[in-house]
Amino acid sequence: MTCLPKPLPSRPAARRGFVGALLVSLVAFIAADAYAQVGGSGYTIMRVLDGTTIVNPGDTANSAVRVNVVAGSAAGVSHVDDAPFTVATDDIVPMGAMFDDVSPDTVNEGDAGVSRMSANRVLYGTIRDAAGNERGANVNASGQLEVSAAVASIAAGDNNIGNVDIASAIPAGDNNIGNIDVLTFPSAPTANNAGAQVSVTTTSATVLASFATRKGCGIVASPNNSDVVHLKLGATATTANGKLWPGEPWNCGPVPYTGVIDARSAAGTQEVTVWEW
């Protein structure tokens, strides 16, 4: 059986022309593959024509729209671990840090956190010891790292320890500090007399003038003398002062005398040799 379409009711000519034009446009749209289809639930199925191929952009598994990135990176800059890096070609990501010197927050075990920096954008860093403790290091105004070396004892043998500052007093008693190499010595005192021979008569005369920086002195009577020589630690020697027999030596002692030393003979002219330093 053939069903014939029911004739359309009569309409004004202008209205029939508008409806006809609309139908023609709709048929042309569908015929031109606009690819808009209505699904069974009333939603619109969208397809995209890239010029030659119809593709479905929908991702039903993730309820998302699939995007094919043909340039750049969809997940940001990345680089394969332990792979070469090409300067001026490979991408990098700038790293940021936080300036917080008042009350920086701590992070829990297993959490990620942001690094700290100074107001001049310099990253902070501390030294971590084997036990996991963070240790700060001090640098003086000359840019030198301060080091504290705690030495319980100096090993036996020859040890060059350089300049040493005694931070505390050495306890009383015997202290064995090992072998020490003295690299520099105090400068030697200037000698005022180094073996000068002086004749002494019965009139008092000066054999050693006063010497403020005197560290020691010695006087020896010549073994060829025929009589004693009298010495005085001061001016004007007399026969009542100490005697030096022929060939007998005398020295200033452990605490040097720095004043004048006069001498005279008991009789005749006698000779003495003097040293002073």
Query: Tens digits of per-residue pLDDT, 29-62?
Result: 444 444 445 555 556 666 666 666 666 777 778 8
Contacts of 12 (CB under 8 A, 6+ apart): none
What is residue 173's DSSP assignment?
Answer: S
Strands (E), the chain: 36-38, 44-46, 48-49, 54-55, 58-59, 64-65, 127-128, 134-135, 158-159, 179-180, 193-200, 205-208, 217-221, 229-232, 242-244, 249-251, 261-265, 270-276
Q: Which residues of 118-154 are buried (b: 16+ CB within 10 A; e: fewer)?
A: eeeeeeeeeeeeeeeeeeeeeeeeeeeeeeeeeeeee
Q: Look at the chain and report how many structural domains it folds into.
A: 2
Q: What pLDDT is attached to residue 229?
A: 94
Residue 12 DSSP one-character state: -
Mean pLDDT of all residues in the chain?
77
Q: Determine the structural domain holding residue 43 and report its residue range.
A: 16-66
What single letter denotes the amino acid at residue 8?
L
Say what the pLDDT of residue 32 is.
45
The CATH number of the domain where 214 resides is what?
2.60.120.770
Q: At which of 50, 66, 82 does a domain end?
A: 66
Sign of the dihedral defined by the CA atoms of residues 237, 243, 249, 251, in that order: negative
Q: For 151-209, what is each residue's pLDDT tens digit? A: 667 777 777 766 666 667 777 777 776 666 666 665 555 556 677 888 999 999 999 98
Overall average pLDDT of the 56-74 stretch:
73
The answer to whether position 176 is within a domain reads: no
Q: Flag whether pLDDT at 150 surpasses 50.
A: yes
Please give the pLDDT value at position 170: 73
Q: What is the pLDDT of residues 202-256, one digit of tens each?
A: 999 999 988 888 888 889 999 999 999 999 999 999 999 989 999 999 988 777 7
User: Would you say residue 123 lies in a domain?
Assistant: no
Give the mean model confidence (pLDDT) for residues 136-163: 76
Decide if 35 is inside a domain. Answer: yes
Let me know if residue 26 belongs to a domain: yes
Answer yes or no: is 142 within a domain.
no
pLDDT in tens, 112-133: 999 999 999 999 988 888 898 9
Q: Report yes or no on 158 lying in a domain.
A: no
**Of 66, 82, 98, which residue sits at a domain end?**
66
**Position 91 in a domain:** no
H or E, element range at 30? helix 13-31
Indicate whether 199 belongs to any domain: yes
What region, left, alpha or beta, does residue 88 occupy, with left being phi > 0 and alpha being psi -120 to 50 degrees? left
Question: What's the pLDDT at 18?
Answer: 56
Confidence of residue 275 (pLDDT cuts 50, 70, 90): confident
